Amino acid sequence: METEKEHRTKSVIHARHLTRIYKMGDSEVVGIDDVNLDIAPGELVVLKGDSGSGKSTLLSLIAGLDRPTHGHLTVADHDLTDTTSSGLTYFRRAVVGMVFQSFNLMPTLSVLENACLPGLLAGNPPDRIKSKAMELLDWLGLSARMNHLPAQLSGGEMQRTAIARALINDPEIILADEPTGNLDSRNGRIVVELFAQLNHKWNRTVMIATHSNIADSAATVTVCLKDGKIDGQPCDI
């Protein structure tokens, strides 16, 4: 039998009894409830569930955007349960890359500048960051749009810019929250294909939270959430 320590060593994401409870006035809302999860490096995990099932809560804990109320969470050997604020900042810069449903690009920065942003925030040399961003944008088919502002891009282009931004610091894990939610089906498929490439060719761990089936074919692991708990049954969305 594998020990807990061996589990933790093998897993890139290791959660035990993970619970997040939100205070809403006098009442409490359980975001996720006693979740145990182990994800091996190099998996493409599709996190599925209905609205309110806890997908986003779990993703925000794994991304270091929030802290659990109870339980234990280790991501890429970083213990997120007890990490300091600056430790979490380092974690978000170096370990994970985030992609959002609404792209969340900085409206006043160009495509290239948006892609460079996490690298610059991490204090990396601007020239090196810039050339890397250009490579990424070239790979993502955005070379011609580098100097455009987000408002001048299509939804698909905005999401590809967001992917470039997520990759700029070479994170071990890419986390995507409903990345196809604001895209048409063609662009949605392109984005899923990009995540699949990142997983297969670049060997990154990718976790996509979605309520649709668009990423099912690319998934190596599917985790279903229902009412804040991991549901052992096949996902039925």
Least Å distance, CB 3 to another protein, is 32
Residue nearer to another protein on the CB measure, 9 or 152:
152
CB nearer another protein, residue 41 or residue 181 = 181
The residues of the shown chain that bind another protein, judged by CB under 8 A, are: 51, 56-57, 59-60, 63, 65-66, 85-86, 89, 92-94, 97-98, 100-102, 104, 106-109, 113, 117-118, 120-123, 126, 155, 165-166, 169, 177-178, 181-182, 209
* Shortest distance in whole angstroms from residue 20 CB to another protein: 9
Cβ-contact 173, 40 below 8 angstroms: no
Q: How far is the CB of 66 from another protein (least distance, A)?
A: 4
Q: How far is the CB of 49 from another protein (least distance, A)?
A: 12
Contact 164/153 with Cβ under 8 angstroms?
no
Q: How far is the CB of 67 from another protein (least distance, A)?
A: 9
Distances 209 to 12, 51, 126, 134, 169 between C-alpha atoms, Å: 17, 11, 32, 28, 22
Q: Partners of 28 in the beta sheet?
A: 23
For another protein, the closer CB: 12 or 166: 166
Amino acid identity, residue 42?
A: G
Q: Which is nearer to another protein, 11 or 60 (CB)?
A: 60
Residue closer to another protein (CB basis): 106 or 144: 106
Determine the Cα–Cα distance for residues 36 and 54; give it in Å rounded to an integer. 13
Q: Which residues of 149-178 are buried (b: 16+ CB within 10 A; e: fewer)?
A: bbeebebbbbbbbbbbbbbbbebbbbbbbb
Bridge partner list, 23: 28
Decide if 171 contacts 97 (C-beta within 8 A).
Answer: yes
Calpha distance 232→228 (Å, rounded):
13
Residue 5 CB, nearest approach to another protein (Å): 29
Q: Which residue number, 41 or 87, has a Cβ lying nearer to another protein?
A: 87
